[in-house]
Structure 1
Amino acid sequence: MEMNVQALFVAAVLTLFVGFVWYHPKVFGTVWMKEAGLTDDQLKTGNMLKIFGFTYLFSLLIASMEMTFTIHQMGALGMVGGPSKLNEALPSYTAFMADYGTAFRTYKHGALHGFLSGLFFAFPMIGINGLFERKSWKYIFIHAGYWILTLTIMGALLCGWV
């Protein structure tokens, strides 16, 4: 089973596109700025190349893990020791992949796992950080909603794009 590298790179770009819409002033941007205690002037002072560059790199890391969460065959590949050990795999691995190599490889299945990743990983981490930073529940829910939506779309893309 080979990784779809194109899907990985596109999924990482999704964080920027979804964020552009989600944090737009006409959606949640104005409320987020208020809850974060930021002004337009403060937002204009950042190094956007650095911000977007690191966002993309971090998103690649997220997408690579999301791929393992959504594609169950990645677990089977791990059981034989990874791609470098495929030539040493027992015939039962080949038979398994012939029978189940594309099982649950749908956009719908990926979206479900992406949603669960957002709800059970991203939301609690954002919630913990927000509580310690003394942020409002609005702030926490805005960020959590963004990540739940983004990971849902990301999971769909990574799992369904075979």
Structure 2
Amino acid sequence: MNDFALWPVLAGTAAFFAVGALWYGVIFRQLWQRAAGLSNSQLQTGNMWLIFALTFAFEMLIAMVLWHLVARTDPPAFVVMMMAIGFAVGVMIPAIGINYLYLRKSGLLFLIDAGHFLFGMAAMGSVFVWFRG
């Protein structure tokens, strides 16, 4: 298995991005907006194409790192899932938590955003398992 493979990385990124679209666009849209303290007019500001493109790029970087680890270690499927979810729980969510403490963000916003990372990484891990299967 190559250290970098375009299709699994793109598919893993797309899975993470799709979780975000559902998470923030459908499931927790209003709750997240209130917890973030953003008005409708504030949400309409900014270049959404740029925001989405950068989000996809950051998620692709995450996918590249995870795929590299999977390719280097060639673990069984359950370990791929442990790596993906473990990365969310052990690195990403604590990093968000530290930032939110200093930014004085609410616990509710933290839980919503942490859930996004947890389920997004689980989706990415699932895609990687599928590509390796």
Give the conservation status (yes or no) of the 8 Å contact 2:17–2:120. Answer: no
Give the unaligned 5+ runs of structure 2.
Answer: none
Give the partner amino acid of 1:23. Answer: Y
Percent of counterpart pairs with the same letter? 28
Give the partner amino acid of 1:22. Answer: W
Mapped pair 1:116 → 2:86: yes
What's the TM-score once normalised by structure 1's chain length? 0.74
RMSD: 1.7
User: Is 37-46 or 108-117 further displaced after alignment?
Assistant: 108-117
- For residue 61 of structure 1, what is the aligned residue in structure 2? 61
SS of alignment partner, residue 19 of structure 2: helix
Give the conservation status (yes or no) of the 8 Å contact 1:109–1:156. Answer: no
Structure in which a larger fraction of residues adopt helix = 2
User: Is 112-121 or 124-133 further displaced after alignment?
Assistant: 112-121
- How many matched pairs? 131
Give the conservation status (yes or no) of the 8 Å contact 1:110–1:152. Answer: no
Give the conservation status (yes or no) of the 8 Å contact 2:16–2:123. Answer: no
Measure how far apart 1:103 and its partner are. Answer: 5.0
SS of alignment partner, residue 24 of structure 1: helix
Give the unaligned 5+ runs of structure 1.
Answer: 76-101
Greater C-alpha radius of gyration: 1
Distance 1:61 1:103, change over 3 A: closer
SS of alignment partner, residue 62 of structure 2: helix
Give the conservation status (yes or no) of the 8 Å contact 1:19–1:146. Answer: yes
| Partner deviation per Cα, 1:40-61 (whole Å, 9 max, x = no partner) | 1111122111111111111111
SS of alignment partner, residue 153 of structure 1: helix
Measure how far apart 1:109 and its partner are. Answer: 3.3
Measure how far apart 1:63 and its partner are. Answer: 0.4
What's the TM-score once normalised by structure 2's chain length? 0.88
Measure how far apart 1:159 and its partner are. Answer: 3.7
Distance 1:103 1:142, change over 3 A: closer
- For residue 88 of structure 1, what is the aligned residue in structure 2? none
- For residue 37 of structure 2, what is the aligned residue in structure 1? 37
| Partner deviation per Cα, 1:1-47 (whole Å, 9 max, x = no partner) | 3233101011112232111111135x211111111110111111221
Give the partner amino acid of 1:24. Answer: G
